[in-house]
Amino acid sequence: MSRDIRSEGMDKLCDALLSMKNRDEMYAFLDDLCTVKELDAMGQRFMVAALLQKNETYQKIAKETGASTATISRVNRAFTYGNDGYAMALSRIEEK
């Protein structure tokens, strides 16, 4: 499932995201960068991944997050066959 998303623009975006010092700075940056709809979709996908990690059913995930089964399936595919980005992020925020 891995695809090459690396580019000069993505490198700069990653550097910008990593430069944010706290949640308020991140909110400000993301608000400038993305539409509300894009941010809602990203937040929803991350919540879906968290629930998939807990082995929740698609039905429960859909009810809790409002995500469609297509979105849940897409996140599950990335969670299962992707680059472990979801798992890495989830484990790091659990450590805090």
Q: What is the mean pLDDT of residues 56-73?
A: 98
Classify 57 in phi/psi space as left (phi over 0), alpha (psi -120 to 50) or beta: beta
Interval 80-86 mean pLDDT: 94
Q: Is the pLDDT of residue 1 over 60?
A: no
Tell whether the model's pLDDT for residue 73 goes beyond 60: yes
Q: How many Å apart are CA 83 and CA 64, to the nearest integer?
A: 25
- Collect all residues with Cβ–Cβ distance below 8 Å to 39 and sequence separation of at least 6: 30, 31
What is the domain partition of the chain in residue ranges?
A: 1-33, 36-96
* Average pLDDT over every residue of 41-46: 98
The confidence score (pLDDT) of residue 2 equals 58
Q: What is the pLDDT of residues 53-64, one digit of tens each?
A: 999 999 999 999
| The CATH number, out of the four listed (1.10.1270.10, 1.10.760.10, 3.30.1330.60, 2.60.120.10), of the domain defined by the range 36-96 | 1.10.1270.10
